[in-house]
Amino acid sequence: MTVQTDIISLIKSFDSAKILCVGDIMLDRFVTGHVERISPEAPIPVLSVENETSMLGGAGNVVRNLSALGAHVQTIGLIGQDDAGTEIEKLLEQLKNVDANLLKDQGRQSSIKTRFLAGTQQMLRADQETVAPLTQKAKQNIIKSVTAALSSCAVLVLSDYGKGVLLDGMAKTLIEAANGADVPVIVDPKSDNYDDYFGADVITPNRLELHKASGQPVDSEDHIVKASKSLIKKYNIGAILATRSRDGMSLITDKGKATHLAAEARDVFDVSGAGDTVVAAIAAALASGAALTDAAALANVAAGIVVGKVGTAAATADEVIAALKHQSNA
């Protein structure tokens, strides 16, 4: 059997995968149109708006990708008591196999990222959000909800966008709870201080995040391996999957040879949310009993699909299987 055939069989087993996703859920808005002139008021382009769409972002996009791959997901997060929060709830309700437990905080604004695009070219991003640690009551509620949910999931995903849900020691507390329940933890990091993620099983930094966390150069595969191993040793991390944009990704563990995967994308239109896709694919694969190297190979294919789309995209199980079959026939 080929590696592609093995991964296709793995994907077909995702309907039994159960994942818990906790983190910063957002609303991604895309305002698209075309530019034909410069404003007479200032030296800026005038966007003639043709379409506006809203999608789940942040941890919500991880959930969306998990659902698209066929996995079952419980998600725990925080939203404001506002229109954006209501829209986030409705978008989650539309997904298959998703059980959402969203706490509402009247003192916070739901996170919104609005991107303005001319064709596929992003011109501007505008953020509306509250960035602050949770209240003590909200912390206790999330810890209680996560602890209860751990007994019915195979993997915990922490999607940290630095907005508040995983700030102020929350990530570390949830990792400790998962370790105690013998549930593997995958972290998409935002903090430069990896003490927040001490004891995680897999962390998925991009190249810049790896550089900031390690304080080491990451401009070559050897440097990426060295920087990753320093973090693995210092913070008791199981493995680091470093995403390197057009250069693919690298899987590094404490022992054994690093695995470097070339990028799968032929055309890159938008990298928004590609990291969410990587985390989702890794989680679904590990929850189905896959080896970490196979999980990384699947994540690489899935990421190559989403960067070829415009917007915060998801890779479906059918799309990934088609891509793998194409590889086998090439």
Q: Are 202 and 189 in contact (CB under 8 A)?
A: no
Give the sheet arrangement for strand 121-128, strand by strand.
45-58, 25-38, 111-118, 121-128
| Residue owning tokens 């509402």 | 104
The backbone region for 102, taken as left when phi is positive above 0, alpha when psi lies in -120 to 50, beta otherwise, is beta
Q: How many CA atoms lie within 13 A of 296 on its CB side?
A: 23
98 contacts: CB under 8 Å, gap ≥ 6:
63, 66, 67, 72, 73, 74, 75, 92
Strands 259-261 and 249-253 come out as antiparallel
| Cα(326)–Cα(171) distance, integer angstroms | 39
208 contacts: CB under 8 Å, gap ≥ 6:
none
User: Of the candidates 133, 155, 156, 164, which has an alpha carbon nearest to the alpha carbon of residue 58?
Assistant: 164
- ∠ CA(280), CA(90), CA(188), 5° rounding? 25
Q: Which of 24, 105, 196, 276 is catalytic?
A: 276
SS3 319: helix
Length of the chain: 330
Spacing of C-alpha 265 from chain mean position: 18
| Cα(197)–Cα(314) distance, integer angstroms | 26
Residue 24 annotated as catalytic: no
Query: What positions carry a catalytic annotation?
Result: 276
